[in-house]
Chains A and B, each alone.
Chain A
Amino acid sequence: MKKFKKTLVDRRNFLKSAAVGGAATLVAGTAPVTAQPPAPPQPAHPPMMPVETDPPDNVEVLSASERAGSDFMVDVIKALGFEYMAANPGSSFRGLHESLVNYGGNKAPEFITCCHEESSVGIAHGYAAVEGKPMLVFAHSTVGLQHASMAIYNAYAGGVPVFLILGNTMDAVERRPGAEWYHSVVDAAAMVRDFIKWDDLPFSLPHFAESAMRAYKIAMTPPRMPVLLVADSELQERPIPSNSDLRIPKLTVEQPPQGDSGSVAEAARLLVAAANPVIVAGHVTHSESGMAQLIELAETLQAPVIDQGGNFPTRHPLNQSIRGRALLQNADVVLGLEVEEFWATFNSYRDQLYRSWKPFGLKDAKRISISSRELFIKGNFQNIQRYVPIDLSMAADAETTLPSLTEAAKRLITDDRNRAFQDRRAKLVSAKAAAIEEARTAATYGWDASPISVARLTAEIWEQIKNEDWALAGDRGGPGGGGNFLWNFQKRYQRLQGGSAVGMGFSAPASVGAALAHRKHGRLCVSFQTDGDLMYAPGVLWTAAHHRIPMLSVLHNNRAYHQEDMHVQRMANRRQRDVSTAHIGTTLWDPYLDYAKLAQGMGLYAEGPISDPKDLAPALRRAIAAVKRGEPALVDVVTQPR
């Protein structure tokens, strides 16, 4: 007992020496960077240097004038403007948890209760993809971070900022016996360092404040990615000495890198002179104005846009995504903006017994790339795609570079070129109309089939939402993909921005996060949700119900991990074996999942399974009525495989 008291006192004495001034000067907003406290005499490794002194009598509670370290952390968090913090509770951040809900009033950020850390990060991913800024996530040391890791990888690969704070107990002698040892780690961030942009382990509260500002800045500087701070549990839980002078540095926002003037001018020259230029747009826009800037460039050149990232209105005549390959086949200049798979833009690939590939398109076509991805590349995880030679490559943020590129092009356009541009536009308009007519005809096949065709489902949803202020969240193979000609996308926010690592279990939490972001705008958020993806962590539906997050989730229920079903069958075909067994291990049969009951059990309005296409429209209308009442709703639709 004596020893225990000494340990407690040691911590208090350490804090008195590690922080200077009074905690009353906590700054909730931002303060000048120069207003740093005088450098305190901090030990090099504070938690590991106990001092033998006697304890005071009342070491178990904070006095009225004292604050906990995690209170200051919450001040820092509030200064960064987070609206929400998603977490599954964990004892390694219990100090922060309590400070957030009591000291911080559970507002800005508000605690979003999650049933799995993969859901926490997935929600933050979806939120950031709509709002264009990070959401906060707390995670519980070893176990929480490992649960969260796949979702972190999705955000990393997708170029989406997420701000994580991880609880951990660094000082071995402070750890509670048993579970806390399993839940502690020497270098926590090492578990995910391959797929985050930056991390730190602050040793003091001033260190935490500075690193939080730095982390936010790094996360928001293109290429945007997740960042992680480890908050030592003792740093959270210890009281701040009464004379501390803690301050919060002002947040510095980095201006995104722009393409250099010489390269921009050369790119403009090539594009203006081109006979058949094509713009391939990856995840370009991180603001609504970015979409307008991309439209202006396309209209300046009257060049077709193949939109891979939801950057361009679908019914704009220059949105030629539906004709992508045909255009690339004949392109003499290709401008890639934040394109992740540039190699596949110029090569066809064949997945047979011996895999093969070959280039297509004009041999002397000029390739231009503007991508911030070139500024941050790591070696282990291979989300970098295959190397492709580029004639003019700018390591820069594409959206930031668009205005200067457009202006440079305008300066070069002569009357002759303008006439050629108008002729090109006329041909593009005509070709798109023909392509849309073909697509409409294609949609009629299987129109009345049961299971319901994806084209029918897509068209039926559109019919119900077309007059609303709507936004699409999760999407696999639906209107944001192959069926995007069916929906009239006009705003950037109508599609989930940024990508992912194409990991299962992403769409459900990302949809909830997107719906959370859309809620304050009053938008009708629709998620095109696949069944296999939902079953990874379906508890996220409860989170949507608990926090009254309105969202229409339409289940594209093909009752299989269909992609894998096809892969297994392909192997059997090659090996001349039984192809009828491909369903083993790849399908969700026997019993069929009742997703409506699953959702109802978590507090959602839900209907289904719906197999007759005639039942779709009434069910969607009823579900949308529930969403308009502020509830999440799910409609389970039994669908064709693709």
Chain B
Amino acid sequence: MKRLTVAVVAAALLFALSGAPVRSQKPGAKPAAAPPGNVDNGKQLFASSDCGTCHGTLAKGISGLGPQVTPSAFAIPEFVNYVRHPSGTMRPFSSQDLSDSQLVDIYAYLQSLSPSSKSNSSAVGVPAGNAVNGKRLYAADGCYECHGYAGQGGAGTGPKVGPHPISFSAFVAQLRHPSAEMPPYTDKVVSDTDLADIYAFMVSLPDPPKGESIPILNPLLK
């Protein structure tokens, strides 16, 4: 039964891990219903299994290494199958590396990171924040140091954090108990209220121009 459950959820996630043609996630795509699995354990496994090495600490992808893998468009069985037998450059994970139930936990964690958007930033569980104060805090508390003043991310320092940040719960979890290289922000350093404001600032960041609309970036594709 457990194996059957595992066989039912998603794999789009790791399809992208591979270096095979990337199936892009639709930004507004609605994630599947909350999957079984333990999110906290999944987060720990995601870090300890080095998934973040290629896909980023928050599974948002790393340019040149691995694509964004949250939320997954795959069902759990496809997801598990792909992890066991990946295409492209992703390394395979055997059941000795990660059990099926552990993969379900990772899957649950990835689904919990579902990107938010301006339209859903007021969703249940996301406190109203002050974006103006959030911008001030983003600088004062040193978020810009690794992620840039515009949230664009920095080479070798930290990923893009906005617009369309990860979900608020995942954001809080990452700051309080970070994976990879990010230093921890406990509530003694940044209050919950401040986090809400910073999050509101990240949500408020404008969308960038399309790559096609920037002539000096176009020759890259030739």
Residues of A participating in the B interface, judged by any CB pair closer than 8 Å: 276, 321-327, 329-330, 348, 350-352, 358, 360-362, 427, 430-431, 433-449, 451, 453-455, 459-460, 462-463, 466, 477, 481-483, 485-486, 562, 565-566, 569-570, 572-574, 576-580, 582, 640-642
| Known contacts A325-B65, A453-B152; A573 and B211 CB within 8 A of each other | no
Q: In whole angstroms, what is the CA distance A444 to B152 when docked? A: 9
Chain A residues with Cβ under 8 A from B154's Cβ? 454, 640-642
Known: A329-B91, A439-B64, A582-B142. A444 touches B210 (CB 8 A): yes
Task: Using A435-B63, A454-B155 as known contacts, say yes or no to A442 and B160 having CB atoms under 8 A apart.
Answer: yes
Please measure, in the bound complex, the distance between the C-alpha atom of A431 and the C-alpha atom of B54, giving whole angstroms: 14
Chain A residues near B155 (CB, 8 Å)? 454, 477, 481-483, 642
Identify which of residues 59-100 in chain B touch chain A, using a CB-to-CB cut-off of 8 Å: 61-67, 88-91
A323 to B210, alpha carbons, bound, how many Å? 23
Write out the residue numbers on chain B whose beta carbons fall within 8 Å of the beta carbon of A325.
53-54, 62, 65
Contact A351 B181 (CB under 8 A): yes
Cβ of A326 and Cβ of B64 under 8 Å apart? Answer: yes
Instruction: Give CA–CA (A435, B180) in the complex, Å.
Output: 22
Complex contact A445–B160 (CB within 8 A): yes
Are the C-beta atoms of A444 and B142 separated by less than 8 Å? no
Determine whether the beta carbon of B208 is less than 8 Å from that of A322: no
Q: Which residues of the partner chain B approach A466 to less than 8 Å between Cβ atoms?
A: 219
Once the chains are docked, how many angstroms separate the CA of A276 from the CA of B86? 14
Does B125 lie at the interface of the complex (its beta carbon under 8 Å from any beta carbon of A)? no
Closest partner residue, chain B, to A617 (CB atom) = B216
Contacts of B220 in A (CB 8 A): 436, 439-440, 485-486
B42: interface (CB < 8 Å): no
Binds A, one of B7-15, B113-121, B185-193: B185-193
Q: How distant is B91 from chain A, measured CB to nearest CB, in Å?
A: 5
Closest to B137 in A: A580
Chain A residues positioned under 8 Å from B91 (CB to CB): 329-330, 361-362
Q: Does B1 contact A (CB under 8 A)?
A: no
Q: Is the interface of A mostly helix, strand, loop or mixed?
A: helix
Once the chains bind, are B144 and A641 in contact (CB under 8 Å)? Answer: yes
B184 at the interface (CB under 8 A from A): yes
Asked if A440 and B221 make an inter-chain contact with CB atoms under 8 angstroms apart, the answer reads: yes
Residues of B close to A482: CB separation below 8 A? 155-156
* 6 A-B pairs in the complex with CB atoms less than 8 angstroms apart: A326-B19, A433-B221, A569-B183, A579-B141, A579-B185, A640-B148
Chain A residues in 8 Å Cβ range of B20: 431
Cα-based distance from A354 to B62 in the complex (angstroms): 25
Please, which residue of chain A has its CB at the minimum distance from the CB of B86? A330
Task: List residues of chain B with CB within 8 A of the CB of A433.
Answer: 221
Shortest A251–chain B CB gap in Å is 43
* Cβ contact of A642, chosen from B63, B66, B148, B180, cutoff 8 A: B148
Q: How far is the CB of A524 from chain B (nearest CB, A)?
A: 18
Q: How far is the CA of A135 from the CA of B192 in the complex (A)?
A: 59
Given known contacts A437-B221, A439-B63, A326 and B184 CB-to-CB distance under 8 angstroms: no
Q: Does B214 contact A (CB under 8 A)?
A: yes
- A641–B53 touching, CB < 8 Å: no
Chain B residue numbers with a CB within 8 Å of A485 are 64, 220
A582, B152: Cα distance in complex, Å: 21
A8 to chain B, nearest CB (A): 63
* Shortest Cβ gap from A440 to chain B (Å): 5
Assembled-state Cα–Cα distance A486/B156 (Å): 16
Given contacts A323-B64, A449-B152, contact A566 B146 (CB under 8 A): yes
**Contact call B151/A330, Cβ cutoff below 8 A:** no
In the complex, are the beta carbons of A444 and B189 less than 8 A apart?
no
Could you say which of B50, B144, B151, B185 contacts A573, with CB atoms under 8 Å apart? B185
Given known contacts A569-B145, A582-B142, A326 and B157 CB-to-CB distance under 8 angstroms: no
